[in-house]
Structure 1
Amino acid sequence: MAARDYGQSSGITRALELIGERWALLIVRDLLVGPRRYGELAAGLPRIPTNILASRLKELQEAGVLRRAPRSRVIVYELTPFGRELEPVVLALGAWGFKAMGGARDEQAISPDSMTMDLRSAFRPEAAAGLPPTAYAARLDAAELLIRVDGPALDVQRGPGPADLVFEGGRAIHRLITGEIAPQRAITDGLVRVRSGDGLLLDRFATTFRLAA
């Protein structure tokens, strides 16, 4: 039974009954990146109370959105095929939310999984199709994302790897995606620090990942 019953019969109503509780859609967002252990989900959502996380996981499992699965002697949570159908919805919400997001405050976290989904929302396959294959390594605090673009194909993974451009950006990546700041200005102002590779490739990154603010 849904935790919330709106007393109406419609597709949107039913969807909200299944995933409309607070934190539910953010759990789905992180699981769209890949299966996660309970502790990994908690770390990616640092403000979620443990009892709420447990409740949401149980509700989403009962709704058929996710399931528990054994992986290398540990239990992970992963989306079911029904749950994965939410991906275009989550990406569209991310693109829409960018328009009202504004700058990140110091107390607001940017997790590797949230950045991965932001990059998926901002990816422009039509622009990338005309550009050479490029790999970017973006460092976000203690985490690193390896972003591979090959024509209209995008792959984002955690961890290091060979890259044409290695840069540290943190919150400035959002400003690049929205076009709030030009790539070379971001480097000049120290908002983005190039660690290796040609800094001009940051222009290619900004062309490939772009959302209107």
Structure 2
Amino acid sequence: MAARDYGQYSGISQALELIGERWALLIVRDLLVGPRRYGELAAGLPRIPSNILATRLKELQAAGVLRRVPRSRVIVYELTPYGRELEPVVLALGAWGFKALGEPRDEQVITRESLTIDLRTAFRPQVAAALPATAYRARLGATELLIRVDGPALDVASGDGPADLAFATGPDLRRVITGELAPDRAIATGVVEVLHGPGGLLDRFASTFHLAA
């Protein structure tokens, strides 16, 4: 188990002893998107040293947060039901951290897993329930996601597919999600490039995915 011991008998200190070590919660975040092979986890966390990744996986497995399972002759890591209980915690923490996001540094990257969880964090099912079903295809650098919204249900998957609106953007999509930049201005200034479909659907996207800055 992790070496950190706070010497306190409480739920929060116990939780931090289980998932409070560096990188642990980001591993959980990526596994909330879906099972991953070791190499996929490493690729999604490009700055994690391999020995630290191996150690964190062993610690999280020992804590009952994740498990190793064979799949198509390879080993993948997936969250246990106990580990999946962390999803609302991760989403709430993401919403809280979103308020402090500034401009990205040159060395910072956006991965498909981080973008997927950010979209889950910003999703407003009560708003989406009153809107027509819509599919979006978002491209951020090498990352391309197909985002399907059908009532209060959200599905985010990597890859291509038919979409009502396809657009390319960058980290400044954050400004659209927070309401700092209106969708029409985002298109006019090149923050969002419409690749297919009516640009007016970006208003629907901004209504469906919103986080207070």
Tell me the TM-score normalised to structure 1 length: 0.98
Instruction: State the distance in 1 between where 2:67 and 2:203 align.
Output: 41
- Matched residue SS, 1:25: helix
Tell me the residue number matched to 1:11: 11
The answer for the alignment partner of 2:113 in structure 1 is: 113
CA drift at 1:14: 0.2
Q: Structure 2 matches for 1:184-195, cutoff 5 A?
A: 184-195=184-195
Q: CA deviation at 1:196?
A: 0.4
Q: Give the equivalent residue in structure 2 for 1:206.
A: 206
Query: How far has the Cα of 1:143 moved from its partner?
Result: 1.9
1:26, distance to aligned residue in structure 2 (A): 0.2
1:1-213 mapped onto 2 (5 Å cutoff):
1-213=1-213
CA distance in 2, matches of 1:106, 1:204: 30
The one-letter code sitting in structure 1 at the alignment partner of 2:205 is F
Residue 2 of structure 1: how far off its partner (Å): 3.5
Aligned length: 213
In structure 2, what is the Cα distance between the partners aligned to 1:141 and 1:204?
23
- Alpha-carbon separation, structure 2, partners of 1:126 and 1:140: 27
How far off its partner does 1:129 sit?
0.9
| 1:170 shift after superposition | 2.1
Structure 1 letter corresponding to 2:163: A
Would the aligned equivalents of 2:2 and 2:21 in 1 still touch at CA under 8 Å? no
Across the aligned residues of Structure 1 and Structure 2, the Cα RMSD in angstroms comes to 0.8
Which SS does the other structure have where 2:32 is aligned? Answer: helix
Report the CA distance between 1:190 and its aligned residue.
0.7
Render the CA deviation track for 1:116-173: whole Å, top value 9, x for unaligned: 0000000011111110000000011112100000111100001111100000012122
Structure 2 letter corresponding to 1:197: G
User: Between the two proteins, what is the percent identity of the paired residues?
Assistant: 77
Q: Could you tell me which runs of 5 or more consecutive residues in structure 2 were left unpaired when the two chains were aligned.
A: none
Read off the aligned partner of 1:126 and give its amino acid letter.
Q
Shift of 1:180: 1.7
| Superposed CA offset, 1:18-76 (max 9, x none) | 00000000000000000001111111111111111010001000100000111111111
Distance in structure 1 (CA, Å) of the matches to 2:108 and 2:180: 19
The offset of 1:176, in angstroms, is 1.2
1:105 CA displacement: 2.0
Please give the TM-score of this superposition, normalised by the length of structure 2: 0.98
**What's the CA shift string for 1:86-120, capped at 9, x where partnerless?**
00000000000011111222221000000000000
Aligned AA for 2:153?
A
SS of 1:155's equivalent in the other structure is strand
List, as ranges, runs of 4+ consecutive aligned residues in structure 1 with deviation greater than 2 Å: none
Distance 1:30 1:170 in 2: 20
Match of 2:36, as an amino acid?
R
